[in-house]
Structure 1
Amino acid sequence: MIYLIYFVETLLAGTTAALVPYVTSAFSMHSLTPTVSILSNIVGGVTNLTIAKIIDVFGRPHGFILCVILGTMGLLLMTYILSVFIADTTKLENRALMQALMNSTGLLTGWVAGPLAQGYLNGLGWRWAFGMFGALVLLVTLPLFGLLVWNYRKAKRMGLVRERSNGRSNAQSVVHYGREFDAIGLCLVSVGVTLFLLPFNLHTLAGNGWASPFMAGMSIFGVFLLVAFALWERSFAPIRLLPYSLLLDRTVFGACLLCTCLFGSYAVWNSYFGSYLQVVQGLSVEETSYVAQAYTVVSVLFAVLAGYIIHRTGRFKNVSLVIGIPLSMLGQGLMVLVLAPGNTGYIIVCFLLISVSQGVLVVTDEIAILAAGSHEHVAAMLALVSIFGNIGGAIGLTIAASIWSDVLPSRLRQYLSPEELPNLHDIFGDLAKQLYYPIGSPTRIAIQHAYQDAMSRLLLVSTGIWVFGAVGVLMWRNINVKEVQETKGHVW
C-alpha cells in the first residue's frame, strides 16, 4: 500500500513539474515559476515538526489521515509520514535500502508523466490535471489508513495504547495543544521566512523594484518576525519548536546542513531547466519530461545501490565523500560548458552525473541523522532534516527567481532586434510565446542566447553551494550502523 502511494506521488510530481511553467505562463509570469513552490516549501517543512508531534502524541493513523486531508487539498506533506512508517518498521542497517526501494516507483512513472502532461496540455488543460490528482491521492491512501486504524484498534484491545482521560474542555484542549505544538513559534518562523524571501522573487514586478516601500517593508518585517521567533524560542516558548538538543550533535547538524545544500543547489539550477530544454534544445514537453524523469530513474537506482552498500558494510560517510559531493560539482560545472543549442546529449550526460550524486546523498543523509539518535526521536529527526531541506529549497528557489529576473530581461534587451524589443515583456513572461518563434529564426536565437547566460549563472551559483555541503558531510561521525543498538518495542 505504501508503494502504491509512492507511485501516485511520484507520478504527480513528474506530471505537475512539467505543467508548472505553463501555469505561470498562463498569467504571463513565467519568471515566477520557482516562486509558486516557495511558500509550500516553507510551510511544508516547518509543519513537519508539528506532524512529528501529532504522530507521537496521538498515533500514526491520526497523523497519516491529517496528511491525506492536507495532501488532497494542497498536495504538500504526505511523503514525510511514509518515511516515518518505514523507519518504524525496519532495522537501521536496512532502512536506507527500504527507503530507496520505495522510491523505485520512479522507474515506472518516469515514462508515464511526460505523455500524461502533454496529453492534458493538448486536451483538457492543466487545471484538470491538478483536479485529477487531488481525487487520486485520496483514493489510493484510504486503504492504508484503514489498515492503520485496524491495527490501532487491535493495539488498544491488547492494552498497548494508554487511554487518555485529561478532563479538559475543548477550549482548554486548543490552548494545551497550541502550547504542545508551539503554534506561536510555528507561525512566526513560517511567516517570517516567507516574507523575507518573497521580495527577492517579486521585486521585478514592483514599479520601482527594491525602491518600492512595499518590497523593502515586506523583507524588513520578515527579518523582524525571525528575530521575534528566536527570542520566543529562547525565553518564552513552553515547548520549543526545534529540538535544539539534537542539533548539538555534529552528525545531526551536518546532516541538516547537507540537506539544506542538497535541496538548495538543486532548486537553483533546476528551476528553469525544463524551460531551457524546450527553448534552447528544442525538446517537446514529453521529451523534456523524459529527460527530467531520467534523473528520477538514475537517482533511484543508485539510491538502491547505496542502500545495499550500507546494508553490507554499515558505513555511509565515505560513499557521500567519494561519490556524492564530487559528482554533483562535476556535473553542474561541466554543464556550464555545454549549454549551446544542439548539445542535448552532453547535457543529459551531465544531468545523469548529478542524478547519481543525488541518489546517493539523499539516502546517506537520512541514514546519518537516524544513526545519530535514538529510535524515540525518529519522527523528530526526520522532521528536523526535512525543515532544513525545505527551507534550503525555498532559498534556492528564491536565488533562482532573483537571478533569472535580473539576467534574462537584460540579455533579451541586449540580443533582441529593435523591431522585437516592444515584445520583450511578453517574451520574458510567457514560455508559449518564446516557443512561438521557430528554431533558427533571429528572435529564437536571441532568446536562446539569453537563456544560456541565465542558466550559466544559475549553474555556477549552485556549484558553489556544494562547498558547504562538503562541510556538512565532513562533520559526520563515521558511524557503523551495524553496531548501533536500537530500542525494540511496539509501534502504533
Structure 2
Amino acid sequence: MSDHKSDKSHSDVERAATPSSDDHDSHLGVLTVEATHKVYGKYSKCLGLAAYIYSLDGTTTHNYLAFAASFFGNHSLISTIQVAQAVIIAVGKPVIAKIADVGSRGSAYVFVLIFYVVGYIVIASANNIQSVGGGIVVYAVGYTGLQLLTQIIIADITTLKWRGLVSALMSMPFIINAFVGSNIATDIIQGAGWRWGYGMFAILVPAALSPLIITLLWAEWKARKLGIVKQRNSTKSFRHKFFSTVDKLDVVGLVLLGTAVALILLPLTLSRSARSGWKNPSIIAMLVVGIVLLPVYLFWDIKFAKHPVVPRRFLLNRSVVIAADFSNSS
C-alpha cells in the first residue's frame, strides 16, 4: 500500500515538474530548481544562515581595507580598489544569474563559494596592496553572487504574495550586525589583525553555505534519480556541449553588457582623481565607448542571441522598461 502511494506521489511530482512543449527553450537550471522544490523545498533555515554570514561579511570587512593600505603604506589605491570592487559587483550579477539558470542553483553556489574563498585567501596572504586589490576583485564576484543567489532562491520558494516579506526577513541580520559587526571589527583589528579579519571568512563562509549547497545538490540529484529532470545533450560531443553552453550563457551579450557598464561607471568615479578630470582623453573615450556599447548589446540580444541575458519580451515590454527606469532613478 505504501509503495503504491509512493509511486503515485512520484508520478504526481513528475507530471507537475516535467516541462511542457511551451517550456522547450527553458534553461536546465530553471527546470531543475522547479523539480528540486517539488522533491525538497525546505531551504529556509539554510538560507537564513547564508543571509547572516553575508550580512556579517558586509558589516565587518569594509573596515579592514584602510588598515591593510596603511600596513603597506599606500592609501592612494583605496579608492581605485573600491571602484573596481563596485564595478565587479554590478557587472557580476548577470553572469551569476545566467550560470544559475543554465546550470543549477547548487552549482552556482559552488561557483560563488570558490571565488569567495580564493579571494579572501589572496587578501589574507597578500604581500602588497596590489595583491589585496586583486583579492578584493576576486572576492567581489563571490559577494555579489551570494547576494543575488539568495534573492533567486527566495523567488524560487515563495509566491509573489510573500516574496517581499521573505526578502525583508533575509535582510534582518543587517539590523543585528549593525551593532555586532563594529564590535567584531574592532576586536579583530586590535587583536588578530586585518589579515585574520579577512581570512576568517574563508572558513566561516564555506561552513555557513555548506548546509544550503548540500541540500540543493542532494535535491537536484534526487530529482534526476526520480527522472523528474533529464539531462540534455548527454550523448553529444564535447564541442557541441561547449557551444551549446556558450549560446545559453549568451557570452557575447554578457561581455558587451559587462564592458559597457564598466566603461560607464569607471569614468564617473575616476574623473575626480584623473589628470585634467573630464578633459582627460581616456576618461572621455571610456565613457563614449561604454555608451555606444549599450545599443550594440541591445541589438545583439534582440536580433541574434538565442538565449539573451534579458529576454526579448522584457526589453520590448514598456511596463517592464518603465518600472526598471523608475527603480534605477530612485
Task: Give TM-score, length-normalised by structure 2.
Answer: 0.69
SS at match of 2:202: helix
Show the 5 A alignment for 1:21-100: 26-29=74-77, 32=80, 34-54=82-102, 58-72=103-117, 73=119, 74=139, 75-100=143-168
How far, CA to CA, are the matches of 1:77 and 1:14 in structure 2?
Answer: 17
In the alignment, the residues of structure 2 paired with residue 4 and residue 49 of structure 1 have an alpha-carbon distance, to the nearest angstrom, of 21
Q: Structure 1 residues 229, 254: CA separation in 2 closer, same or farther (over 3 Å shift)?
A: closer
- Distance across 1 between alignment mates of 2:293 and 2:191: 45
Alignment length (residue pairs): 259
Deviations 1:85-109 (A, max 9, x none): 2222223322222222222222332
Specify whether residues 65 and 32 from structure 1 end up closer, same or farther in structure 2 by C-alpha distance, changes over 3 A only: closer
Q: In structure 2, what residue type is equivalent to 1:112?
A: V
Q: 1:113 to 1:203 in 2, by over 3 A?
A: same
Sort the Cα spacing of 1:149 and 1:34 in 2 relative to 1 into closer, same or farther, 3 A. closer
SS of aligned partner of 2:75? coil
CA distance in 2, matches of 1:13, 1:30: 17
Structure 2 vs 1, CA of residues 204 and 135 (structure 1 numbering), >3 Å: closer, same or farther?
A: same
2:269 matches 1:212: no
Matching residue of 2:179: 111
1:147 aligns with 2:219: no
Aligned equivalent of 2:62, options 6, 13, 17: 17
The alignment partner of 1:242 has SS state of coil
Q: Tell me whether 1:194 sits opposite 2:262 in the alignment.
A: yes
CA drift of 1:162 comes to: 1.6
Give the secondary structure class of the aligned counterpart of 1:85: helix
What is the CA-CA distance between 1:23 and the residue it aligns to?
5.4
Contact kept? 1:199, 1:216, Cα under 8 Å = yes
CA contact (8 A) 2:97 2:148 kept: no
CA distance in 2, matches of 1:21, 1:33: 11
- Using the TM superposition, give the Cα deviation of residue 182 of structure 1 relative to its aligned residue in structure 2, in angstroms: 0.9
Higher relative contact order (CA 8 A, sep 6+): 1
The change in CA–CA distance for 1:257 and 1:4 in structure 2 (over 3 A counts) is same
Q: Which stretch shifts more, 1-10 or 139-148? A: 139-148
Deviation at 1:21, TM superposition (A): 5.2
Cα 1:93–1:229, aligned 2, differ >3 Å: closer, same or farther?
closer
Q: Take 1:36 and 1:116, find their aligned partners in 2: how far apart are those partners?
A: 26
**Residues in 1 aligned to 2:239 and 2:155: alpha-carbon distance in whole angstroms:** 35
Is residue 232 from structure 1 mapped to residue 300 from structure 2 by the alignment?
A: yes
Distance 1:88 1:240, change over 3 A: closer
1:110 match: secondary structure: helix
Kindly provide the amino acid, as one letter, of the partner of residue 85 in structure 2.
S
Q: Structure 2 matches for 1:79-478, cutoff 5 A?
A: 79-249=147-317, 252-261=320-329, 469=330
The CA deviation at 1:20 is 4.4
CA distance in 2, matches of 1:143, 1:88: 18
Following superposition, the deviation at residue 201 of structure 1 comes to 1.9
Runs of 4+ with >4 A deviation: 20-26, 29-34, 247-251
Q: TM-score, normalised by structure 1?
A: 0.48
In the aligned structure 2, how far is the partner of 1:155 from the partner of 1:238? Answer: 27
What is the alpha-carbon distance in structure 1 between the residues aligned to residue 316 and residue 67 of structure 2?
Answer: 44
Deviations 1:341-390 (A, max 9, x none): xxxxxxxxxxxxxxxxxxxxxxxxxxxxxxxxxxxxxxxxxxxxxxxxxx
* Counterpart amino acid of residue 110 in structure 2: I
Instruction: Mark the structure with the bigger radius of gyration.
Output: 1
CA distance in structure 1 between the partners assigned to 2:166 and 2:279 by the alignment: 51
Question: What letter matches 2:217 in structure 1?
Answer: V
* Separation of aligned partners in 2, 1:32 and 1:151: 42
Which segment is superposed worse, 111-120 or 18-27? 18-27
Conserved? CA contact 2:93–2:144, under 8 Å:
no
Change in 2 beyond 3 A, CA 1:83/1:42: closer
Aligned AA (2:164)? A
Q: Which runs of 5+ in 2 are unaligned?
A: 1-45, 120-138
RMSD: 2.7
For 2:200 and 2:302, locate their aligned partners in 1 and report how far apart those are by CA, in whole Å: 45
